[in-house]
Amino acid sequence: MELFDTRLNDDDHPMPREELVEAVRTADILVPTLTDRIDKGILAQAGDSLRLIANFGTGVDHIDLAAARERGITVTNTPGVLTEDTADMTLALILDVIRRVSQGERLIRNGMWSGWSPTHMLGHRLWGKRLGIVGMGRIGSAVARRARGFGLSIHYHNRRRLPDYAEQELEATWWESLDQMLARMDIVSVNCPHTPATFHLLSARRLKLLKPTSVIVNTSRGEVIDEQAMIRMLKANQIAGAGLDVFEHEPAVSPMLVALENVVLLPHMGSATIEGRIDMGEKVLINIKTFADGHKPPDRVIDTLL
């Protein structure tokens, strides 16, 4: 606010379409969040002065990048600053689902615990299990580092294989075939971005490759998994459990998911740390200030100017 004529969304509400249209008509720089869908229709109404969309977040699947490029609008994001926070939450969900932590907590809160017994609330041992990471970027690699400390065997599928030194550091095994990897994993962690190429990457067909004892954890985007197919398999015990921080149609969460005891549900809070939000804001400010000074912002997703 010291540097620019700034208008703020003071109460953090998801901005309705009419507010977004007004913003793109009048702003030189737009700072959206993941709940602000900047589609082709919105951008078609943008004023000539809009030249930068400085996204507050890493994922940009809510922005029509092709439409932005056509209009000569640069788009930036905030990579790297959420890596450790999201990886922490991924491990938390893995532990929760495997050891039935949330189920046990609900049992006590509902006054249904009658005392210890040798066969009560049995989960599974984490040590020695196979973890398959779908998307071995920054977050996937951070998940792998943490998982090694819990004795998990690290496997991954990625568009490109990691360099030898990175595989050796992470003690990770690359699978060229996602299908073959899925069929052999005890835990599957989704850590790839949502793009047209990854929409329903874990399709109904691929989900059927999982072992009945396998669990899925998703801290990426809900659209990467065919949610309805996953629900059907969870209900039929064809998948043992799931830990979900994201949903295909969020903020709507399927009542069928809510009803399942073998699922841990979180309200898209994987990156929700004070430190992470401050770091995101600082990244946004650097991108804006660099752009306003006539230079290329460091975190360009698409670069149409300069």
Task: Find the helix packing angle between 83-99 and 101-109, rounded to 10°.
Answer: 70
17's CB contacts (< 8 A; 6+ apart) are: 42
Q: What is the set of active-site residues?
A: 221, 250, 268
CB 125 within 8 A of CB 157: no
CA distance 40 to 140: 31
The alpha-helical segments, DSSP class H, found in the chain are: 17-26, 40-44, 65-70, 83-99, 101-109, 138-149, 164-170, 178-182, 204-207, 227-235, 255-258, 274-292
Maximum alpha-carbon separation in the chain: 69
**Residue spans of alpha helices (H) in 138-273:** 138-149, 164-170, 178-182, 204-207, 227-235, 255-258
Contacts of 173 (CB under 8 A, 6+ apart): 153, 154, 155, 156, 167
How far apart are the C-alpha atoms of 248 and 257, rounded to whole Å? 12
- Among residues 34, 32, 36, the alpha carbon closest in space to that of 52 is found at 32
Tokens of 138: 């920054």
Cis peptide before 267 (omega within 30 of 0): no
Whole-angstrom distance, CA of residue 161 vs CA of residue 41: 38
Cα(236)–Cα(228) distance, rounded to whole angstroms?
Answer: 12
Question: Any idea which residue has 């938390």 for tokens?
Answer: 92
